Structure 1
């Protein structure tokens, strides 16, 4: 069934007539591993009355929003960053006076959702709103530097007794009916040279702007509809080099938003360093067979959605199930494991973690194959508490793997729960599908000392999950520290927490403020204990201060500090709140305690009476199964009652009936007041689609499903079907009839993997390691004979080194 994303545009609730968003213009400047983005939204009010346009949209939670301005009736208004309650008051008072005003703020419950309000837009008038932000860019496993402009904002399910997420109340329109386009221009710079740029969307041919290929630009093809996330993958000639960037402080100069100079000692006044480490471990280290691995899987109703908007895209739940089977086949003998499914309730496969054996693996695989997206809403907090309440096992460090599309409304509570139990485990997270909450996925992993991955577009889930499993099986790194060697009278103050978990091949970023006269050279050393060895990563660098007009590194450092404070266990203390507010106001970076507000005090035509509220939704993948038709979070609807605003605005909040229970009718409920019925449905539910036609899994998935827990394969009709060779021929060609046939079959399986799926080796590398270890122990000196006979039968030429020969 096709998804039904809403458009980003002004929606007239009463008449169902959209006021078109004229267009979105985005300019992206990428320098190395940092993006500076300017996004302009153009609106026109085609009604006969003044409107208040409210736009709720997704942002990556690492984004540091540092500028907000609007142009209305030919006048540019630069917004001021204020304490959030003060900003609300400034905005509301301007609206009541009939003046044009606008407001930009971060959602209180999740740092990856923002709201923009443009008030008193006169009839027939146009408005432009521009926001600017900077963010770090991740490096994918294949070396791609990844930039994403998010479009999808899925409704966030909120548990009972919590205010409903602002994302859950937006009107929506089907894909194909979005009337506006997105224009995006991107420029890339890298001292390492740019090999190519790829995208999930149609882009113009790569154009180099420098003869040495250190600069390049691309644009989205003309007429692009903003119905899905836009992803750009830049491949540099080299990405895994450590580096230090030192940016000059503003000192007595002004920030982009402030009228006063930066005071001495403020976060913007001193020089700032951004350190990029690529830690490495000694070669040849074996992975651990110990560990308690717990897989927390989301089979809630939203997992029924497709992975992307492409025709015939697989369901999220199907991809998750295939990945779980692959994980179960890849676990090492001797570990313990369990699997939890969660939604509006949760269930565990076993009463407690069980040892990984053939019997426990078969039982788990059977349960995985029976899973369906029928668990209601996404309530992750309760199963997390249950897992943390369960005693761990001595000598088996706990590793938690979380698979979800991230559609939860109580993000900060969930992250706090992981943080409180960080000493007991490591947490690895996977955001499935477009629109997964970056705040939830990244926040849980950071709080739990693990890694995070996002599986979007045509990404395969399996290689990303297997990379995380390999990280989890690496021995735990201890005693991580950072030491500096700097010129006299120069002091380094680390603003972002030094990473407590370090993994092979994973970049680690640290921000530090440098106080004093920065000159000559400096050195920094990241050291940690790996097993019994103390490893040092030294980075010597010239203290060449860069004068950057936009203060990019300072704003990224401020965002890192703000995020760390907001996610700390003391985030509710007055001292931490004061520090967040102070850092935000000094740097101009939005936090959950501040908001940008601007007022046009020279409004030419003042508005009499309150403006009409018009909500501007962002696209979201929707599903309309019976499981969700009773849920306010996932129905496609609109309403005439006022919708909630962020930051405790006076419009009230929306409690949501618990998933699984039948609510007495959808209602907006003001605190202390009676429910107001939602009086109008924006879109009637479509008829149920016919059941999907069963599709035979790929040969690789079928072969993996046949492997035993010890790494071996048995000769079965299913195995011979995968190889395309009869059972009798396989038996006849066995070069050692006196050795159990499973040895011969396992050798054939390994050779088949190398011959037919070498490009997917990252997915089967761990289970191949088990197979080779098993076959070496069983075949003894006859192993070479098995390999030569296998190559002949499968018409292959696999090197003997594959089997350590």
Structure 2
């Protein structure tokens, strides 16, 4: 695997990569991405250039070609070891060769080797992949072009491999020192109108290509710097509609084969019965696993390098989550870095005392736990027995990347029957393979929080999903015309959420002369009530799809088979590995066991002596880390970290401070380092201040802090209570509800759940004078909130 030191190379070797051009073709929910990389050898000897780069975790590479001068060679997919041998043989005979392969540990990191590039020669590399677009909390579809290769943390005691057989390393440098340019453009088309296209980077104005606004183009504005991932958000009108797209097979492929038959992609948006969704579940075991590695001390908006840090935002988010949990549930909070710890020895019941104890420890949380080792805390969590009638919901927050991504995903999948996993990638460079993979294998939902995004709205949406009753007994049945059969390429659906998309790929074999319509039925049980959704679709293939769906279907099948192969410990039971290579080679889609190889059959002379190797720096964001006051014993941790760095195992330079060597697994958050830090300042956000005052029951009480948040004195708050028979706690709760509805409606998604809890508490009190309380609260606060809006 890649060992990224995070430092500029001491030799300051020249970079042969001169420019990258990216073209994205978005069709509804999927995208085809074509990248062109321009190389130039300005040295006096032949070189071998190695470029290690990230791709989205669900990207399926399907084309790789190279052009030197006027000669172009198209790569073929081969078994990985054969491809490496062919590459080495080509180099030794003086031929130009190109090798593209996936990391052994993480499916979203690739190594491109450009071999035997002669002095003064230029090469153009063309790389194409297909990917699904993730649905965001605001219903937009997200495409991300990773521009940052963050350090991957290698667990202690593990062996470091490499992307290309033990030889590839990458140096990451500040974005301002990267000498190659980036151009980016996107074309968007869909069956429905395009509402808007947005980005975290500066874009040229959108250009619509037709009157219906179903086609558009957009480009990255000139002068883009490598200071962030390039994110594009596409919004369609009436986006949450189930649909099916049928893609014709390849005319040159054999009928009956995956590439020769049509492939259908189903976009399913289940609509649950209102009766089953009328109330959220009021139980569950909620476990929050928080990244406390050194890089969590970075600013949320790293392009500016200032503002709220990731760990600050995480603390605020935990406050919001804890206040929004239902009465009657259980919870615990873990922190992890090079080690891990937890607030309580085991999950505790939700009460005023447990919440108060937890929030005291949350306030002490800091980015002080070293690297990013997530596997061990997950093993500990999964080893804990579940609680009767309390379904486990796991929330994972991390900004980092790990080398053992596949091991983590395998662990989550093995335990998927006992929990749902909701994962959050914080900041640019968070591994999409890790974040989306954990949610997918854990039957949950993933979110990415970057730039100026607020973490809270996305996290609260996921909490809402976790409070939905679990959908069980899911089955998908097909009703197709006689003569047409179906082979599902996607793994079985294991989770469904109201309003969230599920993509299913299937191969259609045979023909029918009678009917041109098919039907798919999704059956499931929700809150003990059997339900179903149906989708009728045309079997007629759409035009000009370019085999995108075939390749995504092949990639889905390959990833499912790879996990099956790992579950058997690599024993290859039933010829799974051979099946993976067969599908990979047939479809031209990369896998863990294959690689792309291209050899230019020129009359080259045998190379005398070794080729010069040039590892091309990947861009990284410039980060400054400030060490807190060093507690006793911290120097020992620093020495240990330096030793790890020298041995290539510590790749996050920002983690060097306070990577203490003591075992923290059985300790609480309140360690010696906690005691040396200054307490975190009180929340300055009035809404978070108000939320922090809410009791576990859902109510508020009169006090000076509440009055300050409301902009009043304690006397004003107390004296305006409408009647003596109205309890002070009831009055305080009304004031809090009116203030939230009157001044913070734009943040409703953040406080909606805790308000529901407050309303339930008021109803349980059978509070009198409801209308008078609402009117008095409106008068005091200057609002016009109607009683019906409160849900009373």
For normalisation by structure 1, the TM-score amounts to 0.89
Matches within 5 A, 1:176-255: 176-251=176-251, 253=252
Change (3 A) 1:152 1:506: same
CA contact (8 A) 1:103 1:118 kept: yes
For 2:661, the equivalent position in structure 1 comes to none
Distance 2:426 2:529 in 1: 37
Distance 2:173 2:58 in 1: 29
Pair 1:91 & 2:84 matched: no
Pair 1:77 & 2:68 matched: no
SS state of the match for residue 394, structure 1?
A: coil
CA contact (8 A) 1:57 1:617 kept: no
Deviation of 1:5 (Å)? 11
For 1:631, the equivalent position in structure 2 comes to none
For 2:300, the equivalent position in structure 1 comes to 307
For 1:52, the equivalent position in structure 2 comes to 48
For 1:257, the equivalent position in structure 2 comes to none
For 1:399, the equivalent position in structure 2 comes to 393
CA contact (8 A) 2:483 2:511 kept: yes
Deviation of 1:451 (Å)? 1.0
Deviation of 1:14 (Å)? 6.1
What CA deviation, in whole Å up to 9, does each residue of 1:324-363 have, x standing for no partner? Answer: 1110000011000111111111111001110000110011
Distance 1:169 1:322 in 2: 38
Deviation of 1:110 (Å)? 0.5
Pair 1:320 & 2:320 matched: no
Tell me the number of residue pairs that the alignment of Structure 1 and Structure 2 aligns.
Answer: 749
For 1:541, the equivalent position in structure 2 comes to 537
Deviation of 1:119 (Å)? 1.0
What CA deviation, in whole Å up to 9, does each residue of 1:26-48 have, x standing for no partner? Answer: 11111111111110011212222
For 1:642, the equivalent position in structure 2 comes to none
CA contact (8 A) 1:155 1:407 kept: yes
Change (3 A) 1:626 1:344: farther
Deviation of 1:191 (Å)? 1.7
CA contact (8 A) 1:419 1:447 kept: yes
For 1:266, the equivalent position in structure 2 comes to 257
Higher mean displacement: 165-174 or 561-570: 165-174
Change (3 A) 1:164 1:740: farther
CA contact (8 A) 1:571 1:577 kept: no
Change (3 A) 1:620 1:187: same
For 1:346, the equivalent position in structure 2 comes to 340
Matches within 5 A, 1:325-404: 325-404=319-398
Deviation of 1:93 (Å)? 1.2
Distance 1:62 1:89 in 2: 28
Distance 1:278 1:227 in 2: 36
CA contact (8 A) 1:299 1:375 kept: yes
What CA deviation, in whole Å up to 9, does each residue of 1:252-309 have, x standing for no partner? Answer: x1xxxxxxxx344322121111011100112252111111111111111221222232
Deviation of 1:583 (Å)? 0.9
Pair 1:64 & 2:57 matched: no
Match of 1:757 among 744, 747, 768: 744
For 2:696, the equivalent position in structure 1 comes to 709
Distance 1:5 1:714 in 2: 52
Matches within 5 A, 1:417-428: 417-428=411-422
Distance 1:329 1:149 in 2: 36
CA contact (8 A) 1:201 1:231 kept: yes
Deviation of 1:740 (Å)? 2.5
For 1:731, the equivalent position in structure 2 comes to 718
What CA deviation, in whole Å up to 9, does each residue of 1:535-588 have, x standing for no partner? Answer: 111001111123546211100100111111222323724222111111111100
Match of 2:551 among 550, 555, 558: 555
Distance 1:703 1:449 in 2: 33
Distance 1:727 1:367 in 2: 29
Change (3 A) 1:532 1:297: same
Q: CA RMSD in A?
A: 2.8
Distance 2:752 2:626 in 1: 40
For 1:643, the equivalent position in structure 2 comes to none
For 1:259, the equivalent position in structure 2 comes to none
Distance 2:585 2:524 in 1: 36
For 1:138, the equivalent position in structure 2 comes to 134
Distance 2:623 2:356 in 1: 32
CA contact (8 A) 2:52 2:616 kept: yes
What CA deviation, in whole Å up to 9, does each residue of 1:622-644 have, x standing for no partner? Answer: 6565889xxxxxxxxxxxxxxxx
Distance 1:528 1:541 in 2: 21
For 1:598, the equivalent position in structure 2 comes to 598
Match of 2:733 among 731, 739, 746: 746
For normalisation by structure 2, the TM-score amounts to 0.90
SS state of the match for residue 147, structure 1?
A: strand
Deviation of 1:776 (Å)? 2.7
Deviation of 1:390 (Å)? 1.0
Deviation of 1:232 (Å)? 1.2
Match of 1:148 among 144, 147, 155: 144
Deviation of 1:141 (Å)? 2.3
CA contact (8 A) 2:64 2:127 kept: yes
CA contact (8 A) 1:171 1:682 kept: no
Match of 1:294 among 272, 284, 287: 287
CA contact (8 A) 1:776 1:783 kept: no
Distance 1:48 1:62 in 2: 40
For 2:640, the equivalent position in structure 1 comes to 661
Matches within 5 A, 1:607-618: 607-618=607-618
CA contact (8 A) 2:175 2:225 kept: no
Change (3 A) 1:351 1:358: same
Distance 1:326 1:539 in 2: 38
Distance 2:554 2:441 in 1: 19
CA contact (8 A) 1:522 1:540 kept: yes
Ranges in structure 2 where 5+ consecutive residues have no aligned partner: 629-635, 658-677
Deviation of 1:385 (Å)? 1.2
Distance 1:55 1:368 in 2: 41
Deviation of 1:15 (Å)? 2.8
CA contact (8 A) 1:743 1:779 kept: no
Change (3 A) 1:318 1:604: same
